[in-house]
Amino acid sequence: MKKNIHVILKKTMPKLGQEGKAINVSPGYAFNYLIPNRIASLATKGTLKHANMLTEIQNQKKEIIKIKATELQKQLREITKISIKRKTGDKQYIFGNISSKEIIEKIFKYIGIKLDKKQIEAPEIKKIGIYIIKIHILDDIIVNIKLQILPTNI
């Protein structure tokens, strides 16, 4: 009997590898666990070619996303600061909260691109002043923008 057989993973497994990767495993492990649970399939010339084609397409998509993210990063760096006016009370405290939706609308006015609410990381804003807001474009691309809270003249 063969010592190892070649299979292609259909799902990402922590100790085995990523989806679409071809690995060598023992026949018992493959036929008793991986294949019946639809975690892997037997590797043939056709399935290997198909898996390679899919990984190539994924790599191209990732490259396109990275290019768009760097363009967005350049546009966001052109914004020096965003100003929002709020009513104030005692000791420069503001009424209400500054939501990420307001920040998104201000950024949209500057660059014309709508960001996702999950991309914005803002500190808790309770007073008038300047705050740093982090915008997560991708995992490794983060842009900092200054947010200035100004009092309205009543």
pTM (2 d.p.) = 0.67
Q: Which CATH superfamily is domain 5-67 in?
A: Ribosomal protein L9, N-terminal domain (3.40.5.10)
Residue 76's closest CA among 110, 102, 99? 110
CA distance 94 to 4: 68
pLDDT tens for 24-80 read 999 999 999 999 999 999 999 998 999 889 889 999 999 999 999 899 888 888 888
E strand segments, the chain:
5-9, 22-25, 40-42, 81-86, 120-121, 129-136, 142-151
Ordered by start, the domain boundaries in the chain are: 5-67, 70-151
Q: Is 70-151 assigned to CATH 3.10.430.100?
A: yes
Report, as an integer, the average pLDDT of 12-20.
Answer: 88
